[in-house]
Amino acid sequence: MADEKLASIPSGLAHDNALVSAVRNAYLSFLERREALGLSNPGTFENINREVSRDVFLTNFMFTGLRAEWNKPISNNPIFQLSHQLSMGAQGVSPYTFSALYGSSKVFLQGTMENDGSLVARSNYRWNDSLITKTNAQIQSGQSMLSIENDYSGKDFTASLKGMNPSIIEGGLKGIFIASYLQSITPNLALGLEAVWQRVAMNSSPEALLSYGARYKGSDWIASLQMQTEGPQGSGISSSYWRKLTDKVSVGTDLSLQFAPGLSGQGGLMGGSLQKEGSASAGAKYEFRASTFRAQVDNKGRLSCLLEKTILPAVRVTFAGEMDHLKVCQSTSLAPEIIFFVIWRR
């Protein structure tokens, strides 16, 4: 593989020029040592703590009120599915949502429309085994958002470039641009960084932010650490820990601490005054034969639980509950989901 990368160099030049030959030999030696380490792809910097934030914690699963969802698979290859969702008693959630999904080995398309006309569209296109382009467009209440992201996954690294609401029509560049890189250093350790550049309007100054991240993977546990350098909103540090206790039980914790400049008249960074805010969360996930239970508690006294139960192969029910001990309030939610199978015959 290393020889293929250097095939474009003329053989005579590589052997006759001492400098080119030395660089070539050093590069080949580096690639051989890199291959010998047996490094794997660490994932993206954005998902450096994915086991905790996306699998154990309830952030992506919690809801309020009553929700009913009907899914109708039309075909399996390629995947084509229609979905109808009804909601009651939830603030900020549309009473009715219609969505359609299409997926193949190279293309993924998903569109969602609510009863008030809000539209959300997502698409992924895989150019090859390493490069994928993701787009996300939203039109809600007269506001629009567009994001374009490119992820390149190497054998032992991932590089990403993302732009949110990019525009040059006002005489300059504005929007939010995020570049990140995560590299496996050893079979267990991965290091990376993320740079953010944003300009809200042309009459405002651009802002930049840099974050560093580390991820260490043990035999049955994963720890991650992220540090955000000083920016307009201050700086911060966050850490997470995930552990698989048994084949069906996993737990996770997340700790974060934010430092913000002091208010006007109270000093500031030059005066040594900082506002400090911290948060801590712990969660657990239990997987049973036909159900999954998640529980989470944080330092503000909020206890959340979610149970997903498969009653029949095509019927699933989700129960969610939350109790705030400091505010002395609680809520319970129910979401039945029914899948209708449609068979097309020619």
Residue whose C-alpha is closest to residue 191's, from 162, 156, 147: 156
Backbone angles phi, psi at 135, to 5 degrees: -125, 150
119's tokens: 């539209």
pLDDT of residue 152: 97
117's tokens: 């006309």
Other Cβ atoms closer than 10 A to 240: 24
Residues contacting residue 264 through CB under 8 Å, at least 6 positions apart = none
Give the residues of the chain that fall short of pLDDT 50. 2-3, 13-14, 263-271, 341-346
Residue whose C-alpha is closest to residue 86's, from 115, 109, 58: 115
- Helix H, strand E, coil C: the string for the chain is CHHHHCCCCCHHHHHHCHHHHHHHHHHHHHHHHHHHCCCCCCCCCCCCCHHHHHHHCCCCCCCCEEEEEEEEEEEECCEEEEEEEEEECCCCCCCEEEEEEEECCCEEEEEEEECCCCEEEEEEEECCCCEEEEEEEEEECCEEEEEEEEEEECCCEEEEEEEEEEECCCCCCEEEEEEEEEEECCCCEEEEEEEEEEECCCCCCCEEEEEEEEEEECCCEEEEEEEEEEECCEEEEEEEEEEECCCCEEEEEEEEEEEEECCCCCCCCCCCCEEEEEEEEEEEEEECCCEEEEEEEECCCEEEEEEEEEEECCEEEEEEEEEECCCCEEEEEEEEEEECCCCCCC
- Which residue in the block uniquely carries the two structure tokens 């293929």? 4
The pTM (predicted TM-score) of the whole model is 0.82
176's tokens: 């939010």
- Rounded CA-CA distance 110/239 in Å is 33
pLDDT in tens, 264-284: 444 444 445 668 889 999 999
pLDDT of residue 232: 63
pLDDT of residue 336: 66
The dihedral built from the CA positions of residue 263, 265, 270 and 274, taken in this order, carries a sign that is: negative
129's tokens: 């085994």
